[in-house]
Amino acid sequence: MTSQFAPQESSHTLMSLEKTFKEVYTDLNTQNAESTLLDSLYEKDVMFIDPLHQVKGLKALKMYFKEMYSNLSHCAFRFHSSHFNTHEATIRWTLEFRHKRLSKGKLIQVMGISYLRMKNNKIVFHQDYYDAGALLYEQVPLIGVAIKLLKKRIQGMA
C-alpha cells in the first residue's frame, strides 16, 4: 500500500533553504543579480509575483533584479519571523532602500511578506505582498502628497 502523503522534508533541509533565502537576499545586488547566486534558491521555471511585476523563469527574474537594483544606492532586508513546512513558507521582512529619484534619496522602509512554494528543495513560486503605495507612489512628489492626504482622510472616517 502506498502512502497518499508526500515524504516529509527534513527540518535540516528546511532550515538550509531558509538560511539560503536570507543569505541570497542579504547579498543580492546589481553586480551579482545575473550570476549563479539565485540558482541555488530558485527552479529554472520559477514564477515570481509582486504588486508591481510578474516574472516567469529564472533568467527573467535575474534581469528583473538587475534592473531593479541598478536604480538603488542602498538596499537591505531585515528578516523577522518565518514559517516553513514541507512545500510552503512565509517570511516576514522589512525592505530598506534609497532610490535617487524617490523621496529625494532618503531612506524608505516597507514591511512585507514573501509566500514561497518549494519543490525538490528549490522555490518554484514566490509572491511578495507589500504596500506598493508606501514603496513607490507615496515617494513621488505630487502623487505622494495626494495619497498621504487620502490616507489621513480615510483614517479619520474609521
SS3 call for 31? coil
Q: 80 and 93 in contact (C-beta within 8 Å)?
A: yes
CA–CA distance, 72 with 102 (Å, rounded to integer): 10
pLDDT digits (tens, 9 = 90+) for 73-96: 788 999 999 999 889 999 999 988
Question: Is the pTM of the predicted complex or chain greater than 0.85?
Answer: no
Q: What average pLDDT does the segment 48-76 reach?
A: 90
Domain topology for 11-132: Nuclear Transport Factor 2; Chain: A, (3.10.450)
Q: How distant, in Å, are the alpha carbons of 70, 85, 141 from that of 67?
A: 5, 32, 23
User: What is the identity of the amino acid at 21?
Assistant: F
Domain ranges of the chain: 11-132
